Structure 1
Amino acid sequence: MAAMARYFPNVLSAFHMEAEACRAGLLLAIYQEWDEFILESDCSLMVAALNQNLEDRSEVGRIIDDCKSYLTSLHSIKISHVFREANGVANRLAHLASSKFLNDVWLEEAPVIIQDVLYEDFCNCTRGQGSTSPSMHSF
């Protein structure tokens, strides 16, 4: 498992930020040589874009193309939509990174700054409000 908080200064929209986060997460998975990977997003537009074989002509089409290319480098990948209630960790890290408070990557152990929200996300998932698998690496 990993967590990442990174500031992206030239992001144009929420969808653009989601695409940048996806690309950063996939690059981390490739760098860490993970065999299994779950990519979760509360942005259904991002999940659909990654699952389509069509050319993306949106403002972030090149980033989506990068992500699709990186997906081919991973052995076992699952892309799934989760509800916002089960995505609190990502929201907290995004908020802290956008305020330039954090710019870091954590591997294997969750940082203290997100442990409370990680527990809440897990509880929301077990109530059927989201989906996750603790047996695989996830973002």
Structure 2
Amino acid sequence: MVACIISHSDVNDAFVAEAKACESAVLFAIELGFKFVQVEGDSLTVIRKLSSDSLDKSIIQPIIIDIKAKLQLFEKITFSHVGRQGNAAAHALAKIHTQFQLPRYWVKEAPQEVEQVTIADLR
């Protein structure tokens, strides 16, 4: 498990925020050298746009194009929609993000609040 918190304070649109979060996850996976990645998100719109071969014409088009341009760097990458109840770890991270002024990354561990909800999700 890896986790990160990156503040996007200049974002005023929920779809842009979700797309930027996905972009950050993809960049993080690239930096770590991962070749097999599953990105989960609770924005069905973003997941559909990333899984589609059609040209996106929405406000998040530049982000979607940027993410898709990086897909060849992976042997396999999938984008899956999970409902909010299945994305508790991401919401736990979002709640604690104000504690950190700079981006924060965790590998093989996460903040205690996040590990607790992740373990609860596995049960």
Unmatched segments (≥5 aa) in structure 1: 124-139
Q: TM-score, normalised by structure 2?
A: 0.90
Identity within the alignment, %: 31
Residue 60 (structure 1) shift: 1.4
- Encode CA deviations 1:7-35: one digit per residue, 9 max, x unaligned: 11111211111111111110111111112
Question: 2:33 & 2:118 partners in 1: Cα distance?
Answer: 24
More helix by share: 2
Question: 1:3 & 1:68 partners in 2: Cα distance?
Answer: 21
Question: 1:85 & 1:2 partners in 2: Cα distance?
Answer: 19
1:57 counterpart SS class: coil
Q: Would the aligned equivalents of 1:86 and 1:122 in 2 still touch at CA under 8 Å?
A: no
2:73 counterpart SS class: coil
Pair 1:84 & 2:84 matched: yes
- Encode CA deviations 1:113-139: one digit per residue, 9 max, x unaligned: 31111122223xxxxxxxxxxxxxxxx
- Encode CA deviations 1:34-76: one digit per residue, 9 max, x unaligned: 1210011111101100011122121111011111111221111
* 1:30 matched residue in structure 2: 30
1:58 counterpart SS class: coil
* 2:112 matched residue in structure 1: 112
Question: 1:108 & 1:23 partners in 2: Cα distance?
Answer: 21
**Misfit runs of 4+, over 4 Å:** none
Residue 6 (structure 1) shift: 1.5
Q: TM-score, normalised by structure 1?
A: 0.80
* 2:99 matched residue in structure 1: 101
Q: Where do 1:1-139 residues align within 5 Å?
A: 1-97=1-97, 100-102=98-100, 103-123=103-123
Letter in structure 2 aligned against 1:53: D
Please provide the CA RMSD for this pair.
1.3
Residue 110 (structure 1) shift: 2.4
Unmatched segments (≥5 aa) in structure 2: none
Change (3 A) 1:33 1:106: same
Letter in structure 1 aligned against 2:99: F
Q: Would the aligned equivalents of 2:3 and 2:106 in 1 still touch at CA under 8 Å?
A: yes
